[in-house]
Amino acid sequence: MTLRVLLADDQALLRDAFRILLDSADDITVVGEAADGREAVRLTREVRPDVVVMDIRMPDVDGLAATSEICASPELRDSRILILTTYETDEYVAQALRAGASGFIGKGIGAEALLDAVRTIAGGETLLSPAATRSLVARFLATPGEAPQYRPDQLAVLTPREREMVAMVATGLSNQEIAERMFLSPFTVRAHVQRAMTKLDARDRAQLVVIAYRTGLVQATPEGGTDRTPS
């Protein structure tokens, strides 16, 4: 299976470099390029890429606004957003997650790491380190005035094991790390997580983390970490 990628960056030279790199992989092909957010949204609707590699600072419509529009469209739910930017600030990461992005990485990333990032995002996983997941998600969910979009009773559709898996995902653990803690295979963990995502209508792991916090399954601690509520 070849992963279809759309590049959105206002710098033509960078787009050329990223296209050459991505097209060099046997399982990835670039199907379009956009110079601003408005064009990125239009092309996403036209070519339906698996992954949109999106810059933040672009003219006319920026990458965050384009991400929000793409992620809000039900017909585009299979197109996942990977933010690739020079500006790796906490606020940008928080805004990107809130907009629906599945990953956030800096332009200083290595070639192989970028290829792996595209594959990870296309596979339905989020690309945030455990530390970034704990601190940034806790930060934007705890913002005063943030209206909750989920209720605790929505977790009733999950089995006890699925609730446990969602809580671990929300603390930033990967499938492999969860498997090691639970003495399960990564395949089994992935199956539980995927079922939980389906039941909660979560488009990816990043949204699953949001649901875990907003339903109270996981709460931020005063030290900036996370705390799982009793099952």
Residue 149: per-residue pLDDT: 61
Q: Give pTM, 2 decimals.
A: 0.69
Residue 7: per-residue pLDDT: 98
Residue 124: per-residue pLDDT: 79
Residue 131: per-residue pLDDT: 45
Question: Can you give the three-state secondary structure of the chain, one letter per residue?
Answer: CCEEEEEECCCHHHHHHHHHHHHCCCCEEEEEEECCHHHHHHHHHHHCCCEEEECCCCCCCCHHHHHHHHHCCHHHCCCEEEEEECCCCHHHHHHHHHHCCCEEEECCCCHHHHHHHHHHHHCCCCECCHHHHHHHHHHHHCCCCCCCCCCHHHHHHCCHHHHHHHHHHHCCCCHHHHHHHHCCCHHHHHHHHHHHHHHHCCCCHHHHHHHHHHCCCEEECCCCCEEECCC
Residue 147: per-residue pLDDT: 43
* pLDDT tens track, the chain, 231 positions: 899 999 999 999 999 999 999 999 999 999 999 999 999 999 999 999 999 999 999 999 999 999 999 999 999 999 999 999 887 666 787 788 888 898 888 888 889 889 988 998 898 777 765 545 555 665 655 664 454 466 778 899 999 999 999 999 887 777 878 988 999 998 899 899 999 999 999 877 777 887 888 888 887 654 444 555 544
Residue 175: per-residue pLDDT: 81
Residue 19: per-residue pLDDT: 96
